[in-house]
Amino acid sequence: MSFLSVSMAIISRTPDRRGFLLLHRLRKRHWFQRYFHEGSDMYHAIVAARIRELFRRLGRQDYALVLDSLASKCEHSFMGDHALGGTRKTHAAIKRWYQRLPRVLPGLSFEIERIVVSGWPWATDIAVEWRDFGTTLDGSPFTNQGVHFINLSWGKTTVIRIYCDTLLLKEVLSRNAACGLSEASARPILD
């Protein structure tokens, strides 16, 4: 039972202002706050576990879970002016972006530093702080760090915004392009 369903039940049974006053008094009670806070903790833990699995799969170049989780209307943005930059709003463009990622950054792996989840199933906000590790085609190791901001609605991803050290990323991409990987210097995938 959610806070919303309890609220609607109380308000619908008391057509005047009494329902709102009763709801206000209930929200101050410890048991009421604890019940709904613990429910949100469980939901947040489930979402965080799903995000961890998603990043594990990203490290194995398995993007099916990401693509399957997209809502019918989704926005995918990666900050910066480089081969991975730009904003995509169609599933086809987002799929092309995830296909390009392992080609321009082969062997990329992720380590999650922290996940913060807030909200309820109809409007969930997620922040994922991460580090990634890889090696350029000329053999130089690199480490970058960044943040994903993700919005979910009923388990489907509506917004993905990715921020990282774009100067470092541009340097890695230019090194890979200098080793003959022309796609590393290609224009961003946009739609």
150-167 pLDDT, tens digit per residue, is 999 999 999 999 999 999
- The chain-wide mean pLDDT, for the chain, equals 86
- For residue 160, report the phi and psi dihedrals to the nearest 5 degrees: -130, 120
Question: Whole-prediction pTM value?
Answer: 0.78
179: Cβ–Cβ under 8 A, 6 or more apart, which residues? 136, 137, 138
For residue 179, the model assigns a pLDDT of 96
Domain annotation for the chain: domains and CATH numbers? 3-185 (3.10.450.50)
What pLDDT digit, counting tens, does each position of 27-63 carry? 555 444 454 445 578 899 999 999 999 999 998 999 9
| For residues 68-77, average pLDDT | 96
Tell me the helices (H) and strands (E) count for the chain, helix number first: 6, 6
109-134 pLDDT, tens digit per residue, is 999 999 999 999 999 999 999 999 99
